[in-house]
Amino acid sequence: MEKPLPRRLLLKLLGSRSGIKMDAASAVRVGALFGITENNMRVTLTLTRLQAAKLLNLIDRGFYTLGQQGQTLAKEVGTWRSVEQQVGPWQGEWVGLLTHTQAKRDRKAQRVTARALKMFGMQAITNDFYLRPNNFSAGVDYVRTHLHSLGVDISAPVFKVAQFDSDMEDKARNLWPVKELEAHYQQGILDIEQALDRLPELSLEDAAKESYLVGDSALQQLVFDPLLPAPLINESLRQAFRAKVQEYDQIGERIWLQFLHESR
């Protein structure tokens, strides 16, 4: 697994649970786990652009927490823990999004939109027309609200789609790499089971490092999972993988709380 970037490492750890704070000394010790130099960690903490972007806040006695924007992003990423509860039976309808209103030359907006679409599993069926199954219990409103909170321009229409002709319906149902997703669920379950078996044999430092790397890889898969419904995908297999990730996440949380406590 690749060494994490200092910025991403700090934001991920600070955003993993509410109320987490970290001082420079703890950040340096965290960086050392991954071979990141003390200078890199201190420079990352003090980057004015992170504070200007409201990703980080410097609070009393030299401790850092997530800023307002960092908290918003962490909240959206953190929905992986409960989002499965928002999924309901699929009635064959779709959620559509049109992006033709977005300025093509605004590269930052394009990147933000692309990430939001990926997080909600939306795939392009034609130019500027994206789809996902309408299988959230709260329907289109749920998707619209979260897409907008992730930065998609509010001028982009989000709406219910139904009654495609047979060719378009077939195309829509085959927009996602289902076999690849299911293979990742199966492999993910195996990887986490093996990681759980290793943890008792590791030192606190090694356990913290491994739990971050294994957990981060699994969370990336869940955060960007399209949450497809049956019969498009094996929902039970996805739910089994999610349950295994939650088990590992809870153990990893205890390891990191102990590590950060001993770093003070």
- pLDDT for residue 2: 67
Q: Could you tell me the pTM of the whole model?
A: 0.85
- pLDDT for residue 264: 61
- pLDDT for residue 174: 97
- Which pLDDT tens digits describe the chain residue by residue (264 residues)? 567 888 888 888 888 877 788 888 888 898 899 998 988 888 787 766 777 778 888 887 778 888 887 887 787 777 778 889 999 999 999 999 999 877 677 788 888 899 999 999 999 999 999 999 999 999 999 999 999 988 898 999 999 999 999 999 999 999 999 999 999 999 999 999 999 999 999 999 999 999 999 999 999 899 899 999 999 999 999 999 999 999 999 999 899 888 887 766
SS3 assignment for the chain = CCCCCHHHHHHHHHCCCCCCCEEHHHHHHHHHHCCCCHHHHHHHHCCHHHHHCCCEEECHHHEEEECHHHHHHHHHHHHHHCHHHHECCCCCCEEEEECCCCCCCCHHHHHHHHHHHHHCCCEEEECCEEEEECCECCCHHHHHHHHHHCCCCCCCCEEEECCCCHHHHHHHHCCCCHHHHHHHHHHHHHHHHHHHHHHHHCCHHHHHHHHHHHHHHHHHHHHCCCCCCCCCCCHHHHHHHHHHHHHHHHHHHHHHHHHHHHHC
- pLDDT for residue 62: 78
